[in-house]
Amino acid sequence: MQIKVLGPLSADVNGVSIVPTAGKPRQLLALLASYPGRVVPVPTLMEEVWGTDMPQSAMTTLQTYILQLRRRLGTAMGPDAPGNAKEVLATRHGGYLLQIPPASVDVYRYEELVAAGQASLDACEDERAATLFRDALAMWQGPALVDVRVGPILEIEVMRLEESRVVTVERRIDADLRLGRHTEVIAELTDLIARHPQHEGLHSQAMVAMYRSGRQATALDVYRRLRVRLIEDLGVEPAPQLQRLHQAMLAVDPALDVASGPRRSSTFDLYTA
C-alpha cells in the first residue's frame, strides 16, 4: 500500500485506489493513515467525524464505514493476496489501525529528507542541505489533505504538516543564502512574506537577500512594514534579533556579507544576543 497525504489524499494497493468518494469514510482513512501501525481509539475516530455533535448511531455508523473501507481494500488486494483486508485494517481493543509500515506513507519519507537536510545544514554542508530540503518540498502536491473535509483531530495534523512545510522552506532558503544565492531567492521571499505577513524569520531572510543584492532601501522598508503590522495587529515590537538586524543594515555591518557572516547561524539568528 502506498498512501499520500501531502496534497490530495491518495491510497493505492496494487495500483488500485482504495480512497472512498464519500466524505466521512475519506476522513477515517486519512486519520488512520496519519498513524500507520498505531491503534486509533474509537472515541478519537468519532470525534474526528462528528465532533461534539455525535449521533446516537455513531458506533454503528463507524463500523459501517470501516466495513466499506475493508471492502475497497479487499477488492484491491484481490483473491490471491497472502493476507486479508481485516488484517490490514485491523480491529484492536478500543480502536482500529492500518497495519502498514510507516514508510508506506509519504510523510515518512518527507520527514526523513528534512532530518537529513537539517543534519547537513548543521554540518555546514550547504549544497547538500539545499538539495535535500528541495527534494522534501518536491513531495508536496498541494496543501495537506486538500480534498478531505477535516475534523478537529485531522485539523491539528494538517496544521503540523503545513507548519513543517514553512519551516523547511525557511531552512532551504537559509542554505541558499549561505551559498550566495540572495538574488535568486528574492522573488520567492517576496511572495512568502505576502502570504505570511507576520512571520519574522521569512522577513529577516527577505531583508538579508535584498540587502546583499544592493537593495538596502527595500530591505529597510520590509522591516518598517513588518513593524507597523506587528504593532497594529498584535501590539508588539519585532523580535530583538530582528531589531538588531535592522540596526546592522543601517550601520552597514560587514557581518551581513555572505563571505564573512557566521556560517552556522540561521538568517533569523544572525544577531541573537
The per-residue pLDDT for 258 is: 72
Mean residue pLDDT across the chain = 92
**Is the pLDDT assigned to residue 147 strictly greater than 70?**
yes
**Residue 265 exposed, middle or buried by CB count within 10 Å (0-12, 13-18, 19+):** middle
| pLDDT category of residue 29 using cuts at 50, 70 and 90 | very high
Encode pLDDT of 93-141 as tens digits: 999 999 999 999 999 999 999 999 999 999 989 999 999 999 999 999 9
Percent pLDDT > 70 in the chain is: 95
pLDDT of 27: 96
Predicted local distance difference test score (pLDDT) of residue 167: 96
Cell numbers linked to 61: 455508523
How much helix, strand and coil, in percent to the nearest 5, is found in the chain? 60, 5, 30
The pLDDT of residue 273: 53
Q: Which three cell numbers stand for residue 37?
A: 501501525
Is the confidence at residue 267, as pLDDT, over 80? no
* pLDDT at residue 262 in the model: 54
- State the pLDDT at residue 131: 97
Q: Are 263 and 124 in contact (CB under 8 A)?
A: yes
pLDDT average, residue stretch 204-216:
95
CA atoms within 13 A on the CB side of 60: 3
H or E element: which one contains 145?
none
- Residue that wins the pLDDT comparison between 267 and 222: 222
Strands laid side by side in the 89-92 sheet: 40-41, 95-98, 89-92
pLDDT at 82: 60
Q: How far apart are CA 75 and CA 79, in angstroms?
A: 8
User: Which residues partner with 2 through β-bridges?
Assistant: 12
Rounded mean pLDDT, 237-258: 91
Share of the chain above pLDDT 90, in %: 83
- pTM of the entire predicted model: 0.89
